[in-house]
Structure 1
Amino acid sequence: MSKEMVTALDALEQEKGIKKEIVIDALEAALVSAYKRNYGQAQNVEVDFDEKKGDIHVYAVKKVVDQVEDDQLEVSLDEALTINKAYELDDEIKFEVTPKNFGRISAQTAKQVIMQRVREAERGVVYEKYSQYEDEIVTGEVSRRDNRYVYVDLGGVEAVMAKQDQIPGEQYEPHDHIKVYVTKVDDSGKGPQVYVSRSASGLLKRLFEQEVPEIYDGTVEIVSIAREAGDRAKVAVKSANPDIDPVGTSVGPRGQRVQTIVNELHGENMDIVEWVEDPAAYIANALNPAEVEDVLFDEEDERSCMVVVPDYQLSLAIGKRGQNARLAAKLTGYKIDIKSETDASEFFEEDENVDEAETEE
């Protein structure tokens, strides 16, 4: 071993952020095993690596005892006192036992250990770096794709985006630069794995924070998001400041703020609605753009309600393939049954007839 090793360790720390102490500790532990394996020794040994010179020394560590029973592990008090009169019982003394040809073995061991620890430390650095990005947006470059994933190079790590995390209809080609939302960083045995998404509601929230300063600083708060990625989303917002219009602020002048987000998501439609404390008013807002005549709550299930809309608004309230009603239900957390005024009248007439019949009986 030589100063070349010290130089290599310094370079690893500077270029890859791998602390020199981590590699040295691993190297010393591996050299202890190598010494015992190659020289058939079972005694308690330590290996010391000189960080300045790159020299390696092997020491047998022996305990000071009254009577020696195992000379590989123990040394008598009398012998210890000939070395240094300050030694006492139970002290430990190091005797250098570095073999003459240990340099070759240590070089081979060092190479193996350093490569292994470099891989482990690099994985640790990557995990530590990207675990901080959980629930955040990062920009990456599409590197490749297969039947399971789109692989996104984040610069130092390749993230994976599963099919359910991709926006339907979007095409991801190599070298495309895309914004993705980090959903999870998993520190598995094979190394850290970063999972990203374009379909998660968290992506939409972070995009609004990027485009709307009032959302970023908390003046306007996103209360809830319901999203069918690539098609349509509903976002409920509120503000504690009565002078702030949370919907208008989020949409921006001439719709510029929300349009930037729509463009990033390749045309995904956005409904920005105001969250209010009154559940009926909130549910009516959530069914935007449909007009709502009344919201009636189920007495037996407080999270269920019937929404009455004008006859000509029924299809708009329900939406294409039920999407508007479905998103409103997800946004508010209520089970919503939408009826036209005509259907609602018939429904209540039937209820009245049933009640009358039960009374007569």
Structure 2
Amino acid sequence: MSSELLDALTLLEKEKGISKNILLEAIEAALISAYKRNFNSAQNVRVDVNPETGTMRVFARKEVVEEVFDPRLEISHEEAKKLNPNYEIEDVVEIEVTPKDFGRIAAQTAKQVVTQRVREAERGVIYSEYIDREEDIMTGIVQRQDSRFIYVNLGKIEALLPVSEQMPNETYKPHDRIKVFITKVEKTTKGPQIFVSRTHPGLLKRLFEIEVPEIYDGTVEIKSVSREAGDRSKIAVHSDNPEVDPVGSCVGQKGQRVQAIVNELKGEKIDIVRWSKDPVEYVANALSPSQVVKVIVDEEEKATTVIVPDFQLSLAIGKRGQNARLAAKLTGWKIDIKSLSEAKEENVLDEESTDFEEPLFSVQDDYLTDNQDDVEDKEIE
């Protein structure tokens, strides 16, 4: 082994962070296999590489015995004493058996081992770096796409954006910069594999953490997120500090903070509502922008009956039930929406409930849908 290779190992240690000693151990182990394979040897051997000079020697290891049955693995006590009088039975004698033409094999083997270890180390570094970014947001550059994935360059590796995780209102072109949510990091035989998403609710949550300092520092907490990517989302926020308006913090001055997120999500509408431990208030807030008259709670079934003015019924339900469906996902409660006239006919107004005299709008009207289509299905789980 040449001194140039040792210099290369030292350089790799500095640049790649791979220990020189670990590389030398790997080279020694590979050389043992190479020796046995190339010289048809069944001996128990040890390879020693001098880390200072690069010289390499092969030693056959033999056990000291009274009677030799296999000369490749054993040596007689009498022969061992000729080498060193201090050898006793069951001691191990090492005899140098370095072949004259072993240098060429050693150099080739060392190159293969170093290349493999460098590749493995690089994969390990990438995996360690990105496993810590799981469930986090990163900015990537679209590289290419096929029928199954869009390939997004995250810097050191290409991530996979499956069709099912792509937003329906977006088109992706090469060199586009997009923010993605890392859903899974896997170890494979070909190296780390990273899956990302544009539709995951976690993307919306991370975007708010970036745009809203009060969320990042913990003053405002995101309690729940429900999302139908590319169309509409709801997010429930809360603050233990009575002097902080959690909804206003997320909206920002003149809506700048939430508008930045809307732009990133290509126009996806976002309702920001105030979280409450009281399910009555929470469900009423979650149905914004609709006005709520009463909320009747069934604790055992974890269900609510929400009464809204007749002219607000379609707004409360939303297009294809979207508003009610998102509110149900956000709160974790079943929501059955009834118009005021329907509730009077069914005599449900006398049940224990809470009245709301004012509409519960939680976000500026600019970020709410003004009109919703009528929907027949009202009960959303």
My pick for the range that moved more, 102-111 or 267-276, is 102-111
Match of 2:114? 114
What amino acid does structure 2 have at the position aligned with 1:154? L
Deviation per CA, 1:85-133: give whole Å up to 9, x if none. Answer: 5544443332221100001111222233333333222222211111111
Deviation per CA, 1:202-251: give whole Å up to 9, x if none. Answer: 11111111111111111111110001111111111111222221111122
Match of 1:153? 153
What amino acid does structure 1 have at the position aligned with 2:326? L
My pick for the range that moved more, 68-77 or 177-186, is 68-77
Structure 1 stretches of 5 or more lacking a match?
353-361
Match of 2:356? none
Match of 1:308? 307
Match of 2:323? 324
Which structure shows the bigger proportion of residues in helix conformation?
A: 1
What amino acid does structure 2 have at the position aligned with 1:44? N
Pairing 1:76-225 to 2, within 5 Å after superposition? 76-225=76-225
Paired residues, number: 350
Name the CA distance, whole Å, in 2 between partners of 1:8 and 1:192: 26
Match of 1:271? 271
What amino acid does structure 2 have at the position aligned with 1:24? L
Q: 1:241 to 1:76 in 2, by over 3 A?
A: farther
Match of 2:64? 64
Name the CA distance, whole Å, in 1 between partners of 2:82 and 2:217: 73
Secondary structure (helix, strand or coil) at the match of 2:184 reads: strand
Name the CA distance, whole Å, in 2 between partners of 1:181 and 1:19: 34
Secondary structure (helix, strand or coil) at the match of 2:266 reads: coil
Deviation per CA, 1:249-288: give whole Å up to 9, x if none. Answer: 1222222221121122121111111111101110111111
Q: Per-residue deviation at 1:79? A: 4.1
Q: Per-residue deviation at 1:75? A: 3.2
Secondary structure (helix, strand or coil) at the match of 1:263 reads: helix
Secondary structure (helix, strand or coil) at the match of 1:291 reads: coil
Match of 2:339? 340
Secondary structure (helix, strand or coil) at the match of 2:271 reads: strand
Q: Per-residue deviation at 1:15? A: 3.4
Deviation per CA, 1:146-187: give whole Å up to 9, x if none. Answer: 111110111111111011211222121111122111111100
Secondary structure (helix, strand or coil) at the match of 1:348 reads: coil
Is the CA contact 2:273–2:286 (under 8 Å) kept in the aligned structure 1?
yes
My pick for the range that moved more, 90-99 or 283-292, is 90-99
Deviation per CA, 1:2-58: give whole Å up to 9, x if none. Answer: 012112223333333443344333322221111111111111112222233222221
Match of 1:7? 7
Secondary structure (helix, strand or coil) at the match of 2:346 reads: helix
Name the CA distance, whole Å, in 2 between partners of 1:331 and 1:23: 53
Q: Per-residue deviation at 1:81? A: 4.4
Structure 2 stretches of 5 or more lacking a match?
352-381
Secondary structure (helix, strand or coil) at the match of 1:135 reads: coil
Is the CA contact 2:223–2:236 (under 8 Å) kept in the aligned structure 1?
yes
Q: Per-residue deviation at 1:82? A: 4.4
RMSD: 2.1
Secondary structure (helix, strand or coil) at the match of 2:99 reads: coil
Name the CA distance, whole Å, in 2 between partners of 1:243 and 1:101: 82
Name the CA distance, whole Å, in 1 between partners of 2:71 and 2:295: 90
Q: Aligned pair 1:44/2:44, yes or no?
A: yes
Name the CA distance, whole Å, in 2 between partners of 1:169 and 1:319: 19
Name the CA distance, whole Å, in 2 between partners of 1:211 and 1:94: 68
My pick for the range that moved more, 190-199 or 112-121, is 112-121
What amino acid does structure 2 have at the position aligned with 1:254? K
Match of 2:367? none
Is the CA contact 2:169–2:266 (under 8 Å) kept in the aligned structure 1?
no
Is the CA contact 1:295–1:308 (under 8 Å) kept in the aligned structure 2?
yes
Q: 1:88 to 1:248 in 2, by over 3 A?
A: farther
Name the CA distance, whole Å, in 2 between partners of 1:53 and 1:124: 30
Q: TM-score, normalization: structure 1? A: 0.90
Name the CA distance, whole Å, in 1 between partners of 2:22 and 2:228: 47
Match of 1:54? 54
